[in-house]
Amino acid sequence: MIERKFVPDHATFLSLLIACAHRGLVDEGCKYFESMQRDWKLVPRSEHYSCMVDLFGRSGFINQAHELTNEIPSDRRTTAWETLLNACKVHGNLELGEVAARKVLQDDQLDDGGMNVGRCGDDQIVHARTWGEERDGM
């Protein structure tokens, strides 16, 4: 990018992070995420954070995904919690998955009174709600 005098924007870095997540390139993804902030002075958006959580989650680094999710500014966290919930489901981490499910439910209630049942286009939040309701009933 630098050699060709290309100035990357938010979309450029999102594309790079998605590619890294799908290829399992954790180190490269971390370098791009840091570079967008340090070298290009771009503030990560919720989709950048969620993509990093996805990168860690897909690669089995659930604790790193959780740590990053906790560091995300609160106005950009909901999708990251949903992404973490999915990673927990894939890797069978019930304990952290319960934490993520509760955060998804909490954020939904703060966002729109808890009326949202499918913001991500899949049934992840529905599972989170069911999981949370079953757990509360115990």
* Average pLDDT value for the chain: 84
Residue % of the chain over a pLDDT of 90: 68
Cβ neighbours of 124 (radius 10 Å) = 18
pLDDT tens-digit map of 7-52: 999 999 999 999 999 999 999 999 999 999 999 999 999 999 999 9
Q: How many CA atoms lie within 13 A of 111 on its CB side?
A: 17
- Angle value at C-alpha 70, between 13 and 72, nearest 5 degrees: 35
Distance CA 102, CA 108 (A): 10
Q: Are 34 and 45 in contact (CB under 8 A)?
A: no
Cβ neighbours of 71 (radius 10 Å) = 10
Query: 91: burial class by Cβ within 10 Å (0-12, 13-18, 19+)?
Result: middle
Dihedrals φ, ψ of 65, to 5°? -60, -40
pLDDT tens-digit map of 94-137: 999 999 999 999 877 665 544 333 333 334 444 544 544 555 55
pLDDT tens-digit map of 40-64: 999 999 999 999 999 999 999 999 9
For the chain, the domains span 10-136
Token digits of residue 90: 């894939």
CATH topology of domain 10-136: 1.25.40
pLDDT at 117: 37
pLDDT at 136: 56
